Amino acid sequence: NPTTASRNEVKLNDDRVFDCYSTPVLSPNGDCYGRIWSFRDITQRKQTEARLRKQAEREQLLGEMNQRIRQTLNLEEVLNTTVEEVRQFLACDRAIIYRFNPDLTGTMVVESVSKEWKSILKEQIQDNCFHKTKAPYFRKGGIRVVEDIYNAGLHQCYVEMLEGFQVRANLMVPILQKDQLWGLLIAHHCRQPRKWSTSSVKLLRQLSVQLSVAIQQAALFEQLAAELRERSAAEAALRKSEATLIQQRTKLEAALYQLQQTQLQLIQTEKMSSLGQLVAGVAHEINNPVTFIHGNISHAEHYAHDLLQLVQLYNQHYPQPVEEISKFAKDIDFHFLVKDFPKLLKSMDMGADRIRQIVHSLKNFSRLDQAERKAVDIHEGIENTLMILQHRLKPAAANIKLVKNYGHLPPVECYAGQLNQVFMNILNNAIDALEEYDRELSADKPKRDRSTITISTEIVNYCSTESFSRDVAQNFQSVIIRIADNGPGIPEELRQRIFDHFFTTKPVGKGTGLGLAISYQIVVEKHGGNIQCLSEQGKGTEFVVEIPL
Ligand SMILES: Nc1ncnc2c1ncn2[C@@H]1O[C@H](COP(=O)(O)OP(=O)(O)O)[C@@H](O)[C@H]1O
Ligand SMILES: [Mg+2]
**pLDDT tens, residue by residue, 322-351:** 999 889 989 999 889 888 998 998 899 888
Q: Please say whether the beta carbons of 377 and 428 come within 8 A.
A: no
Supply the range of the domain harboring residue 115.
72-196
Q: Is any atom of ligand 1 closer than 6 Å to the C-beta of 422?
A: no
**For residues 480 and 467, what is the distance between their CA atoms, to the nearest angstrom?**
12
Last residue of a domain, one of 162, 180, 196: 196
For the four alpha carbons of 445, 450, 453 and 454, in that order, the dihedral sign comes to: negative
Nearest residue to 542 via CA among 496, 466, 499, 487:
487
Q: Which CATH number is 524's domain given?
A: 3.30.565.10
Q: Is any atom of ligand 1 closer than 6 Å to the C-beta of 484?
A: no
Ligand 1 centre distance from Cα of residue 363 (Å):
27
- pLDDT for 3 beyond 80: no
Q: Please say whether the beta carbons of 491 and 509 come within 8 A.
A: no
Nearest residue to 181 via CA among 194, 172, 193:
172
Last residue of a domain, one of 196, 231, 256: 196
Ligand 1 centre distance from Cα of residue 529 (Å):
20
Backbone angles phi, psi at 3, to 5 degrees: -95, -10
Nearest residue to 272 via CA among 427, 417, 425, 429:
417
Q: What per-residue confidence (pLDDT) applies to 464?
A: 44
- 112 and 11 share one domain: no
Q: Is residue 131 part of a domain?
A: yes
**For residues 187 and 200, what is the distance between their CA atoms, to the nearest angstrom?**
10
**For residues 92 and 196, what is the distance between their CA atoms, to the nearest angstrom?**
10
The protein residue with its alpha carbon nearest to ligand 1, atom 19, reads 513
- The residue-averaged pLDDT of 345-363 equals 84
- 11 and 107 share one domain: no
Ligand 2 centre distance from Cα of residue 437 (Å):
16
pLDDT digit string, tens, across residues 160-183 = 889 999 999 999 999 998 878 899
- The residue-averaged pLDDT of 419-423 equals 90
Nearest residue to 359 via CA among 427, 281, 417:
281
Q: Is residue 327 part of a domain?
A: no
The ligand 1 atom nearest the CA atom of 517: 17
At 489, the amino acid letter reads G
Q: Is any atom of ligand 1 closer than 6 Å to the C-beta of 490?
A: yes
Ligand 2 centre distance from Cα of residue 547 (Å):
20
- 34 and 156 share one domain: no
Q: CA 22, 23, 24 angle in degrees (round to 5)?
A: 130
Angle, helices 75-90 vs 43-71, to 10°: value is 170
Q: Is any atom of ligand 1 closer than 6 Å to the C-beta of 433?
A: yes
**Within 10 A of 435 (CB to CB), how many other CB atoms are there?**
17
Q: CA 371, 376, 380 angle in degrees (round to 5)?
A: 110
Tell me the three state secondary structure of residue 95. Answer: strand
* Count of domains observed in the chain: 3
Please name the residues in contact with 505: beta carbons below 8 A apart, sequence gap of 6 or more.
Answer: 494, 511
pLDDT digit string, tens, across residues 491-531 = 999 999 999 877 899 987 787 788 898 889 889 988 999 99
